[in-house]
Amino acid sequence: MSIQREDVEKIARLAKLQINEEQLETVASELSNILGLVDQLQAVNTDNIEPMAHPTDAVQILRADQVTETNNREAFQKIAPATENGLYLVPKVIE
């Protein structure tokens, strides 16, 4: 599977990463190499094999519905890049 520049541009947009014009070719070829390595998988017969998302067969343990958290806004916002009146600030969101 070889990856084209346009593919790189598209996934970079999805992943919110900038790839410069001059890096596009390199990244495309690196990704092609990785997917080349991965293409070995296609040769394996996996009919009727249930995909495995977790290493163990454990099931989820649910939490009781209790409020256990208290307001810690000051500590969290001390490490925030931009806040005002308790809000996180970002460039204007246009819907």
User: For the CA atoms of the chain, what is the radius of gyration?
Assistant: 23
Q: How many residues bind another protein (CB under 8 A)?
A: 70
| 83 phi and psi angles, rounded to 5 deg | -140, 160
Q: Is 55 an interacting residue with respect to another protein (CB under 8 A)?
A: yes
Report CA torsion sign: 20, 6, 92, 82: negative
Contact flag: residue 4 with another protein (CB under 8 A) = no
Q: Work out whether 2 is an interface residue with another protein (CB under 8 A).
A: no
Q: Is 22 one of the binding residues for another protein (CB under 8 A)?
A: no
Nearest Cα residue to 5 out of 23, 14, 18, 17: 23
- Residue 8: other Cβ atoms inside 10 A: 22
Q: Tell me if 25 contacts another protein by CB under 8 A.
A: no
- 42 touches another protein by CB under 8 A: yes
Q: Which of 5, 6, 8, 22 binds another protein (CB under 8 A)?
A: 8
Sequence-distant (6+) residues with CB within 8 A of 4 are 28
List residues binding another protein (CB under 8 A): 3, 7-8, 10-18, 27, 30-31, 33-42, 44, 46, 49-56, 58-69, 71-73, 75-82, 84-95
